[in-house]
Chains A and B, each alone.
Chain A
Amino acid sequence: MIHKKYLFVAVIAGTVILSSCTESEQAPGLEYMPDMYRSPALEAYIDYGSNKHMDLTQEEKDELGVVPVLSRLPVDGTVPFMGSNEMAQFAMPYPLNNTVEDYERSATEIKSPLLPTKTNVERGKEIYAHMCMHCHGKEGHGDGAISKNGHIAGIPDYATKLKELQAGKMYHTITYGKGLMGQHASQLNQLERWQVISYVQCLQQGVSTPEYDANNMLKLKVEAAAADTTK
């Protein structure tokens, strides 16, 4: 009888040991009908084998024919469609270049097209939390986590050093970057850039929770917008 018990234990142990070596974190698992995962129409971020082709020489690529490349830049001279005619102004090219002279020019030549409405400033606050806070800090004192952890030091405080910084210069800086700050044009469209600037203008005056009047306009006085173009 002992004999049979041993047999039973052996069967269980053998099964467990044999079946434990089949899963790997490196393998995604089985696909149900693989051709249903990759559509014939090219979709972003799907590997159609182009990664394998990256190390090929030009002749080898020519031999293969078209190798799908999924992350492409927009065609030169195209303007993004922003949804409506009013929004088209935010798709226009920025007139200044990434030079020292144009940075100075931006102070007077570039004006915000947005009024400091509640929608704009509050959206700006959200964008600030996503895009700016880890360096510039919650209240804009230049004390974000990256600064506190000692990776980038000396990020200027909006409320003191950058108190007088004009909106145009901010816009220029977000578009092209300045000093150690990189350009954020690929992450923020023009509308979002102006919205976040409208919130940074509150931080310049030391206000991190802005208040609004009965018309949903910012109570704080900030640099005037160029024109009321959003209505």
Chain B
Amino acid sequence: MRLSTILQHRFLVSIFAFLFFAQYTFAGVFEGGDATKGETLFKQNCASCHSVDGSLLAAPSLQGIDSRWAGKDALIVKWIQNPNGALATGDPYIVGMVAKWKGQFGMMAAQAVSEGDIKDIIAYVKTGGSAGGPKASDAPKCLTLEEIEAAKAELEGDDSGYVWFIIIGLILSIIAVSAANIKKSLATAVNERDGLPAPADRTYMQVAKAWMWTNKKFVGVLGFIIFCYISVVGYKSLMGIGVYQGYTPDQPIWFSHAIHACQNEIDCQYCHSSAAKSKHAGIPSVNVCMNCHKGIKKGAISGTKEISKIYEAIGFDADSSKYIDGYAQKPIAWNKVHNLPDHVYFSHQQHVTVGQIDCKQCHGPVQMYSVGHVATPAEINAQEDVTGLIKLEKETLTMGWCLECHNKAGIDPTKSDYYEEMHKRYKSNEVGKRTLSEIMEDGSMTVRENGGWECGKCHY
């Protein structure tokens, strides 16, 4: 008995010892990984679908993975390396998980990571991704986030001051009228006491006239100021008819071109994709916003405030990363910034595809501003990053401006086969040949020489 007890004890001790050391020698994937290495691996292999902070991207979050998969070390390695193989084992957790998520996100692809890698990734997941999140681009050519934020604050604080002038003016005139009335009743009362007849009942007009006669000099100066004012304002407003320079309307969503086009280097034609194909450059429909904002749910400046307006328009639930079924979608009513009268025909396609004109030639440095606006010639001419920039002086979006550019812009027939036919027709007869040689005397053909100044080219 004694011997067996001793043996039993030794057996137990050895089991304990085995378990004690096993922690170090056969530890599972949930302990002892390197979080720094894991972060790199996570970003390379997992981050395009999984988050670590509990939010849904294109797959369930990895947050809490160590408790959900506790005790299934070998299985999680198998699941990551070969999901279909792991599913075939029939493990109830995996089967349940696939049934729950496959419909929404599809099946996970096999990942080429070793067991050691998985250990590191899990170590990173357990840190909760402390060092993640959006950060500002370090490209020097762009505005910094602080500058964009300052510009936004300025825009929001910009209330129309002239309303206050009108209010103050109204208050002052009310005071003046009541003061005049009080003066009159006082004068009547004084006359009554002294037994004199009440002062003659004069109209306001008569009072004003009398006052003006007694203060001729002041009235003269004031009249001159008002005359100058009316002349200047009248001249300016007449000259401003049909000129939209500097028009910067508030938009329903505070969208920043500085963040999208400059920091994140999204090409103009990604969102305005019809510029190369149609008359209109196009305002992107909400599904284009969702191409990125399905995953990017928080902005660097406005947080979720502005992005949630997209979700509200299209009916997207950010928490479950799902489109809401049967949602009554609401259009976003953007304000049109660049407008041409109906009696002028302008086609983006002609300028972008055939003429190969840079967007910035007409729209200015849009990537340096948040809210879109009609650029002024000064802004357009100051750009240094546009090859072959034509410097123009006339007001933007006026006919003079169009003509100025058509007169200066040269045509490069090699850029587009659109010109091939034209070239062929010039060469087909003697008159054409002579015209062509006249045009090409100075070595280039401008848009004007190709009919760009004909009325019917744009007005028909």
Report A's interface with B, CB cutoff 8 A: 7, 10-11, 14-15, 18-19, 21-33, 36-39, 43-47, 51, 54, 71, 100, 103, 129-131, 133-135, 144-146, 148-156, 161, 177-184, 186-188
Report B's interface with A, CB cutoff 8 A: 42-49, 57-59, 102, 105-107, 112, 132-137, 158, 160-162, 165, 221, 224-225, 228-229, 232-233, 236-237, 240-250, 263-267, 269-270, 273, 279-280, 283, 285, 287-288, 290-292, 294-296, 330-331, 333, 336, 339, 341-343, 373
A26→B107 contact, CB < 8 A? no
Q: A146-B264, A153-B48, A182-B287 are in contact. List 10 more A-B contacts (CB 8 A).
A: A11-B224, A26-B160, A27-B247, A32-B242, A32-B341, A100-B107, A149-B135, A151-B295, A179-B106, A186-B287
Tell me whether A149 and B342 are in contact in the complex, defined as CB-CB below 8 angstroms, given that A183-B287, A183-B291 are known contacts: no
CB of A180 to closest CB in B, whole Å: 4
Q: Which of B106, B245, B263 contacts A145 (CB 8 A)?
A: B263
Tell me whether A100 and B242 are in contact in the complex, defined as CB-CB below 8 angstroms, given that A11-B225, A28-B247, A180-B49 are known contacts: no
B229→A144 contact, CB < 8 A? no
* Chain B residues, Cβ within 8 Å of A103: 106
B135→A150 contact, CB < 8 A? yes
Q: Which of A21, A28, A133, A152 contacts B296 (CB 8 A)?
A: A152
B249→A28 contact, CB < 8 A? yes
* Chain A residues, Cβ within 8 Å of B233: 18-19, 22
Which residue on chain A has the smallest CB distance to residue B265?
Answer: A145
Tell me whether A15 and B232 are in contact in the complex, defined as CB-CB below 8 angstroms, given that A37-B339, A155-B48, A182-B291 are known contacts: yes
A133→B341 contact, CB < 8 A? no
CB of B51 to closest CB in A, whole Å: 10
* Chain A residues, Cβ within 8 Å of B160: 24, 26
CB of A142 to closest CB in B, whole Å: 8
Q: Which of B224, B250, B295 contacts A152 (CB 8 A)?
A: B295
A45→B240 contact, CB < 8 A? no
Q: Which of A26, A47, A161, A187 contacts B270 (CB 8 A)?
A: A187
CB of A7 to closest CB in B, whole Å: 6
**Interface centre among B283, B331, B342, by most A CB within 10 Å?**
B342
* Chain B residues, Cβ within 8 Å of A144: 265
* Chain B residues, Cβ within 8 Å of A133: 265, 267
Within the assembled complex, what's the spacing in Å between the Cα atoms of A76 and B223?
Answer: 67
CB of A67 to closest CB in B, whole Å: 12
Closest 7 CB pairs of A and B: A182-B291, A154-B47, A153-B47, A154-B48, A145-B265, A179-B58, A39-B342
Within the assembled complex, what's the spacing in Å between the Cα atoms of A27 and B237?
Answer: 13
Tell me whether A25 and B373 are in contact in the complex, defined as CB-CB below 8 angstroms, given that A134-B270, A146-B264, A180-B58 are known contacts: yes
Which residue on chain A has the smallest CB distance to residue B263?
Answer: A149
A36→B221 contact, CB < 8 A? no
Tell me whether A182 and B244 are in contact in the complex, defined as CB-CB below 8 angstroms, given that A130-B269, A149-B263 are known contacts: no
Within the assembled complex, what's the spacing in Å between the Cα atoms of A25 and B373?
Answer: 9
Within the assembled complex, what's the spacing in Å between the Cα atoms of A24 and B243?
Answer: 13
Which residue on chain A has the smallest CB distance to residue B233?
Answer: A19
B45→A14 contact, CB < 8 A? no
Enumerate 11 A-B pairs (CB-CB under 8 Å) in ascending A order: A18-B225, A22-B237, A29-B245, A32-B341, A39-B342, A44-B280, A133-B265, A135-B292, A151-B134, A179-B49, A179-B105
Tell me whether A47 and B336 are in contact in the complex, defined as CB-CB below 8 angstroms, given that A38-B342, A154-B45, A155-B48 are known contacts: yes
* Chain A residues, Cβ within 8 Å of B265: 133-134, 144-146
Tell me whether A15 and B229 are in contact in the complex, defined as CB-CB below 8 angstroms, given that A153-B43, A180-B49 are known contacts: yes
B132→A154 contact, CB < 8 A? no
* Chain B residues, Cβ within 8 Å of A149: 134-137, 263-264
Q: Which of B135, B245, B287, B341 contacts A36 (CB 8 A)?
A: B341
Within the assembled complex, what's the spacing in Å between the Cα atoms of A33 and B241?
Answer: 10
* Chain A residues, Cβ within 8 Å of B290: 182
B228→A15 contact, CB < 8 A? yes
B247→A130 contact, CB < 8 A? no
Tell me whether A30 and B241 are in contact in the complex, defined as CB-CB below 8 angstroms, given that A14-B225, A51-B333 are known contacts: yes
B137→A180 contact, CB < 8 A? no
